[in-house]
Structure 1
């Protein structure tokens, strides 16, 4: 009888090999594992995106799971997001050393969970977690697209098991079921002024001598009156964030607090970004549309959303999108 447990153990090994059961247990998708993948992706982005003395990092994340895993874990998504934000702040504090300021290009952290059986040509199994990160709101949702444009994002590559910058075709996301309950937006605000212990700036370094504007102002940094010709509609948008995205109004864009959404088929998604530049104390614009974007009749060359080329935006300017939507920009500060 003493040998029976050992005999049963051997039989169990024949039915379920140790390596298989151990692997299944190791790679099971738990709330902790989803959190770990998010934090790892975020921390990697600091080293990848930061430049000079400015700390940059990804602020937008897509978390792709197998549909069964999505259903199993969806009730925990709000808690995972809350813990992720806490961890992000801790990571930022631990990496502050070599950087003089925190300079995110977004005003919120955005998380979107989705379920799918396939992603990027790879099968999504119940034990897989895919985290895709980007600096700002350029990640698509579930809409169909005809464009063959690629997004420059970071994701863990299976061959190397490291987060790497990769190009992802927009159509890659059309098989993912992104649901409204799986979307979360968390506003953040950082003190971008130098600490008292930092050395005095070098002569001519405008960035360090410019008083920082608050990221969000009740009065707004600028006012944009826009006219949509196809609808014969006019309205006004108050620019309260340091940087905004001009995009077509679609359900998947509703969660972004810094989006100027325009009801027009002639507006791209995204079409352009407008930002306030601390160094020059001026506004700038970058265009991403294949259609024309003009500022005071001057054509603005197109650039990639992941690598924007910024052009000076006068304090008072007319911005024309695809010859159909007119924006009258007026600085208020």
Structure 2
């Protein structure tokens, strides 16, 4: 004790070298900004890797894996993070529009699913970690495809190299991750596209429009309308010719196979039945009615649900995009 300075000398020593204080532990848990940055990095990195020629491709499906404690803490901020991520995606796309002539994603929406887990892919998930798994489309958790493949092709940042790498992931890898339904978000694409200008109608027809007649003798390869559809979780496209005045859109099941006027869609996201499309002879227009508890949209407009026994019909434009449960896209084109 005799070696310690006392009096004014001790005070001067404390002034020049303040006594040590216990340090406050640094909070290293993942922040909202960190989650956002990882999402944006996964999206931006995918553009040069996935794009081909003049067509821009990019990751549209994302799984965000957090430590369970961080998941609980950040859950209320997930919608804001998703909104900010999509805004960043649009900014990135706009900045690269000169390089690519067209935007050609293989999905119809951005899909985000958050989950909590303590381990993923052989790596421990710590509170400071944010693991983002990205894919063009069809990441399994929450998609419930008809048949689960043995592996799914994804990209993720490898911890050892800190680089994004393409890899096959066994679907069982996700089984211990708690993907809760409140942590799932779907945001439909809203790109600025150059639409083809409609042809001008003849002056006489414009002045006195006449409703078109239904052709009585249709070619075997044509119909009243053509429906090109895309199934997001299977990355599958198909074409359906509407030859009947009324058709039913339903999930592809054995019990539906014998109905000739059914458009059968191989997707767990399509209800049974999901909707009906008809040509109204009296009004000379196409109409649609939705029966699904999941949403049906026509050109971004939500169509309310009705009962199959009492359908509520809504006018269907001659050219329209019909979105079933945010996962199956129908491109409707009248031939009349």
Task: Name the TM tier (shorter chain).
Answer: 0.5 to 0.7
Structure 1 unaligned blocks of 5 or more:
196-212, 240-244, 250-258, 264-329
Counterpart in 2 of 1:228? 253
Aligned partners of 2:46 and 2:172: how far apart in 1?
A: 24
Quote how far apart the aligned CAs of 1:12 are: 3.9
The CA distance in 2 between the partners of 1:98 and 1:178, in whole Å, is 37
Hey, what's the Cα distance between the residues in 1 that align with 2:94 and 2:260? 41
Deviation at 1:136, TM superposition (A): 1.2
Q: Give the aligned partner of residue 60 of structure 1.
A: 61
Q: Deviation of residue 98 (structure 1)?
A: 1.5
- Deviation at residue 97 of structure 1 after TM alignment: 2.1
Deviation at 1:28, TM superposition (A): 3.3
- Distance in 2 (alpha carbons) for counterparts of 1:165 and 1:194: 35
Alignment of 1:201-216 (within 5 A): none
Q: CA deviation at 1:131?
A: 0.5
5 Å-filtered alignment, 1:127-146, equals: 127-141=128-142
Shift of 1:193: 3.9
Q: TM-score, normalised by structure 2?
A: 0.56
Aligned CA distance change for structure 1 residues 84 and 231 (closer, same or farther; 3 Å): same
Cα pair 1:53 1:99 within 8 Å, conserved: yes
Cα gap change, 1:105/1:146 in structure 2, threshold over 3 Å: closer, same or farther?
A: closer
Q: Residues 261 and 149 from structure 1, CA distance in 2 versus in 1: closer, same or farther, beyond 3 angstroms?
A: farther
Q: What is the alpha-carbon distance in structure 2 between the residues aligned to residue 122 and residue 135 of structure 1?
A: 24
Listed one character per residue, the Cα deviations across residues 83-116 of structure 1 (whole Å, up to 9, x for unaligned) are 1110100010112221111111111111111001
Show the counterpart of 1:70.
Answer: 71
Give the CA deviation at 1:132.
0.6
Q: Contact 1:142–1:173 at 8 Å: present in 2 too?
A: no
Partner of 1:281: none
Could you tell me how far apart the structure 2 residues matched to 1:130 and 1:162 are? 12
Match of 2:266 in 1: 246
Q: Deviations over 1:207-230 (max 9, x none)?
A: xxxxxx9999xxxx7465666236
Q: Which whole-Å CA distance do the structure 1 matches of 2:161 and 2:252 have between them?
A: 49
**3-state SS of the aligned residue for 1:179?**
strand
Counterpart-to-counterpart distance in 2, 1:237 and 1:186:
29
Seen in structure 2, the aligned counterparts of structure 1 residues 142 and 228 have a Cα distance that, compared at 3 Å, is: closer
- Match in the other structure for 1:112: 113
State the shift of 1:169 in Å.
Answer: 1.1
| Structure 2 match to 1:186 | 187
> Are 2:251 and 2:271, in contact at CA under 8 Å, matched by a contact in 1?
no
1:149 is matched with which residue?
A: 150
Q: Deviations over 1:34-69 (max 9, x none)?
A: 101100000001111100000001111110001100
Summarize the alignment of residues 254-333 of structure 1 with structure 2, pairs less than 5 Å apart: 259-260=269-270
After superposition, the Cα gap between the structure-2 partners of 1:235 and 1:129, relative to the gap in structure 1 and judged at 3 Å, is: farther
**1 CA distance for matches of 2:262 and 2:135?**
26
Question: Could you say if the C-alpha distance between residues 166 and 186 of structure 1 is closer, same or farther in structure 2, counting changes exceeding 3 Å?
Answer: same
Q: Which has the larger radius of gyration?
A: 2
Query: Partner residue of 2:98?
Result: 97
Aligned to 1:45, the other structure's residue is in SS state helix
More helix by share: 1
Aligned to 2:37: 36
Find the aligned partners of 1:83 and 1:48 in 2 and give their Cα distance.
23
CA distance in 1, matches of 2:39, 2:132: 7
Q: TM-score, normalised by structure 1?
A: 0.56
1:123 matched to which residue of 2? Answer: 124
